[in-house]
Structure 1
């Protein structure tokens, strides 16, 4: 597909600075721009690339004012990054989608599969499963008995959905993700541990995306709940009976212990970890490798382990970096004090 700068601006509600007829048929990073491609500038730290990029069109924010001549045609929009996502989605939607049931897919007789679905080779769909229309179930995916999946969902190869789990509309489960595995529940019994049956399920609400090899454990009772719009990166672990609030996002290797309740619009940096049974308010930001051991009762940005307010962490870090010098200075002061004591005691 090929689009002109003017066509792109019309779709995005933007304005053109430069040649409105220049056309593009692909995307590129701004630092690796090529003629015939579209790039974007959203982060000011990359501004210097725009003055040399070979990309034909660059999406920029409305408030961008170049400090040097720009060869590329600019399309100014309210949010360059969000506008790029719109264009990428348009291209994705235009791709030919697989349809039909491949010959070696297994679908139980009591299962129902909606219209315009694709089920790939060696996919397994168990008893009493209900799948909405326009879903894509790729090869080797496993969908256990009594699972419900909404419309417009994509289940990639080797994703596993255990019995009784519920997947909403417009959800994406990437390869190797596991929904509904047993929670880590064991009762001490003498020198051993007795497994506690995990009888609940997992509920993913609408518009949830689960990264590759992410695991979400089923509840002991009731449900582990991932609310609408949540996005989980690869290798995230969500334990039993957790509730993750709407539009919360987690980067890779985040670990959430059992029965944690997380508010909406929270952000987790990579490898952040939360102890069990704590509550987190809405709009909390956790830096990478944050370790949280108690409730977070109001919006905040937290860093460190144990996690503290980001400003306090930065002040503490500045002091920490000075500790070797401070230690030497204290040693010198101690020696001087001892010397003064000797002088006074003569």
Structure 2
């Protein structure tokens, strides 16, 4: 763990310092856990009241935050506390560099090329013809298939599985338990039952993609499944065969995307959203958590609910559903009134009159 002075924190975060610039900080902690040697942060105004109960030595706050600090606490005012924190955390908690080399228990197939600066961990298996780039790290008991391409600075955490032919661009990160390049769910019914459709495409991740733990991304059936540069995928996500995911997309945990779906650049899919196959989600679209997307979503649109619809409309529908119990009560009350009058001998509207 490294140490930074408050003045160094302000310089790195491009912020304005209030207080003692010589204060030494040796870590980052939440307000309620921080001590005099910690830097803390407040990203939202609703947490400002908690600053006065904190023992933090310094705190990151927004430039326009109207907050009075306790005596002895320094402040670094920045445009965005979260972005500033993202810059500072790697300096306070630098990663331990991996020692280059191939572990004695690793198994390499014929024709494997491993860069001299790369690391292959214990009991890893790398299939024939695979290329491993500079400074790449293959974790313990990871399995890499034949003919894969692993770019520079890629990190494969322990127990990752790459099927044959998977390609990972520079600086991709794949977390434990993820499975990339498995067969897509493709079958054709015939007289004998369900005949498996061979899956002969590839799974390709462009540069700077991160894949969460236990996520699965299928290979293409004919053609490729492609995840665009800079996209971030959470844990427990399923992406079907032949999907094309754009650049800088955010896919939150437990999302399921059926095959041949296209997701535009910068889209966001909330947790547990389900997406039907062969549709298109436009660039910059927002899909709410647990939404069921059954048709195309226009670029920039925000949808939610099941079936997914414009978010404001979905909220009105939900409000109407919540109002149903009271509406049913009112309907029953009206029925009681109407039927009750009928029982007391109210004349029936027969359309007939008495004769002379």
Q: Equivalents in 1 of 2:71, 2:341: separation in Å?
A: 69
Instruction: Identify the residue that residue 346 of structure 2 maps to in structure 1.
Output: 343
Which residue is 1:77 aligned to?
78
1:225 counterpart residue number = 226
* Distance in 2 (alpha carbons) for counterparts of 1:70 and 1:281: 51
1:285-323 deviation per Cα after TM superposition (whole angstroms, max 9, x unaligned)? 111111100011231222111111111122222221111
Q: How does 1:1-346 map to 2 (within 5 A)?
A: 1-66=2-67, 69=70, 72-93=73-94, 95-190=96-191, 192-339=193-340, 343-345=346-348
> Equivalent residue of 2:315, what SS?
helix
Shift of 1:344: 5.0
C-alpha distance in structure 2 between counterparts of 1:332 and 1:25, whole Å: 68
For normalisation by structure 2, the TM-score amounts to 0.93
Maintained 8 Å contact 1:34/1:54: yes
| Contact preservation (8 Å) 2:243, 2:261 | yes
Distance of 1:143 and 1:56 partners within structure 2: 47
Residue 191 (structure 1) shift: 6.2
Q: 1:183 to 1:92 in 2, by over 3 A?
A: farther
**1: CA distance between counterparts of 2:102 and 2:128?**
17
2: CA distance, partners of 1:276 / 1:3: 50
| Cα distance in 2 for residues equivalent to 1:199 and 1:128 | 18
Shift of 1:256: 0.3
Which structure is larger by alpha-carbon Rg, 1 or 2?
Answer: 2
Deviations 1:102-131 (A, max 9, x none): 111122241111231111111111111111
Write the distance in 2 (CA, Å) between the matches of 1:197 and 1:70.
Answer: 69
In structure 2, C-alpha distance between the alignment counterparts of 1:37 and 1:210, rounded to whole Å: 31
Report the equivalent of 2:353: none
**Unaligned 5+ runs, structure 2:** 350-356
2: CA distance, partners of 1:190 / 1:30: 66
- Whole-Å Cα distance in 2 between the matches of residues 58 and 168 of structure 1? 37
The alignment's TM-score, normalised by the length of structure 1, stands at: 0.95
Secondary structure (helix, strand or coil) at the match of 2:225 reads strand
8 Å contact kept, 1:286–1:301 = yes
Distance of aligned partners of 1:58 and 1:328 in 2 relative to their CA distance in 1, 3 Å threshold:
same
Superposed CA RMSD: 1.7
Measured against aligned partners, the alpha-carbon deviations of 1:217-251 in whole angstroms (never above 9, x if no partner) come to 00001110000011111110000000111111111
SS in 1 for 2:17: strand
Structure 1 residue runs without a partner (length 5+)? none
Shift of 1:92: 4.8
Name whichever of 47-56 and 222-231 sits farther off: 47-56
